[in-house]
Structure 1
Amino acid sequence: MNKSDIYQSTAEAILAVLDGEPNVTARMATVSCLLSQAFPDRFFWTGFYCVDPDKSKELIVGPYQGTLGCLRIPFGRGVCGMAAATGETQIVKDVHAIENHIACDSRSNSEIVVPVYGADQKLIAVFDVDSTQVAAFDETDKTHLEDILNKVFSKG
């Protein structure tokens, strides 16, 4: 199976498991788990940083798979903070080459971060995937991850 095929079958599994499940935490945990399992050789850290309800310009670690994550990230700082601040997916081929990177785990070499919106179209989180490989993510990952996250969170 190629990468697109894996994403397609994983998306189907995620939507089937979550059918009828309204809880956002359960939805995030399921997405993190199934995507991490789908790409075990590429996805080193897979999870969510949620908008803190008490500090609207700060992210707090949410459900994830992998090593210890950073606990808090201000909007605008690091790849996750930039995705939250700009509302745009960030693809970083080499995290060590960017000035603003937050190194939660030094083994991470590349990263993709996708903003996650709720049914009301307000930012609720960012979905972060780190890889030990350099340049592990591309437009295929961006397209599929945005589609999965939109179906899981924006559609209710």
Structure 2
Amino acid sequence: MKNLELIREVFLFPQFQNHSGIEIYYKNINEYSLVFNTGEVSTENRSLLSIAFEGEEVGKITFNSSSIESEKIISETAAHLSPLFRSSHIESEFTYNLSVLEWLKGARELIPDIADWIGVYFKTDYLTGEKSSDLVLGPFFGESTNHVRIPIEKGLCGLALREERVVNVEDVHADDRHIACSLKTNSELIIPLCDKRGEFVAELDIDSNQRAAFSKDIEEKMKLYCESFPLK
């Protein structure tokens, strides 16, 4: 699968090219399929970390335990892989996850000095078919977050889809609707994403450590890019 190379390029080679004894798998129909490895994992010093999406196992990482720091990196990697391996046993769903990752990489490359965290939140009924008003986190770049599911009634992310409008906040600390993913975040831009029928199904969420990072020109540039958002 072509875009598996993108996963390796973005999340795996930079982190693990100097580590030995790591194997990363996604869950297929009746088996686990290898995505990446850096040599054999020893049976004597073997650890296992499950990769889960919404409580369901979607992959696993086996590795040689070496240090607390290495285990932190592995845990962070699992958080990034979780939305990518969602429904990985269904080829069309897995392909869609990877296409969103590729699109998101393009979005980040438009504003690399501003986007300290960038990701896509989906309405659950669009992504998984679950009848809920919650938003669920899809692919993202940046530090992992505990906010993998957000009620649409909460936060600035909920506001953008609830009112179906762009939210551009120069100082998130001055807005009590902000749900802090990171104390380093100072400004945020959220752009709702719609399907071919014009129904809003997701949003692009960008956090910056800079105050007032998103000028009107940047907002318009990102809105234009959002017209290319891949749909299921």
With the length of structure 1 as denominator, give the TM-score of the two structures: 0.78
Give CA-to-partner distance per residue, 1:12-67, whole Å, 9 cap, x none: xxxxxxxxxx9542332112212223433211001100101214411000011111
CA contact 1:117–1:153 (8 Å) conserved in 2: no
Tell me which residue corresponds to 2:133: 57
Alpha-carbon contact 2:103-2:230 (below 8 Å) kept = no
Question: 1:61 corresponds to which letter in structure 2?
Answer: L
- 1:50–1:59: 8 Å Cα contact kept in structure 2? yes
Alignment TM-score, normalising by the size of structure 2: 0.54
Which amino acid counterpart does residue 120 of structure 1 have in structure 2? R
Comparing 32-41 with 121-130, greater Cα deviation is found at 32-41
Matched residue pairs, number?
135
- 1:114 maps to 191
Distance in 2 between residues matched to 1:123 and 1:79, nearest whole Å = 16
Equivalent position of 1:3 in the other structure: none
Q: AA paired with 1:67?
A: E
Aligned pairs (5 A) from 1:1-156: 24-53=96-125, 54-69=130-145, 70-153=147-230
| 2:193–2:229 Cα contact (<8 Å) kept | no
Paired amino acid for 1:90: V
**Which of structures 1 and 2 has the larger relative contact order (alpha carbons within 8 angstroms, sep 6+)?**
1
Superposition CA RMSD, Å: 2.1
Distance 1:39 1:145, change over 3 A: closer
Q: Residue 102 and residue 35 in structure 1: after superposition, are their counterparts in 2 closer, same or farther (change >3 A)?
A: same
Alpha carbons 1:119, 1:153 under 8 Å: kept: no
For residue 123 of structure 1, report the CA deviation from its aligned partner. Answer: 1.5
Aligned with 1:101: secondary structure? Answer: coil
Aligned counterparts of 1:84 and 1:27: Cα–Cα separation in 2: 22
Report deviation, 1:153.
4.2
In the TM superposition, what whole-angstrom CA distance separates every residue of 1:117-141 from its partner, at most 9, and x where no partner exists?
0112221111000000000002112
- AA partner of residue 30 (structure 1): E
CA distance in 2, matches of 1:132, 1:72: 22
Q: Give the unaligned 5+ runs of structure 2.
A: 1-92
The offset of 1:113, in angstroms, is: 0.1
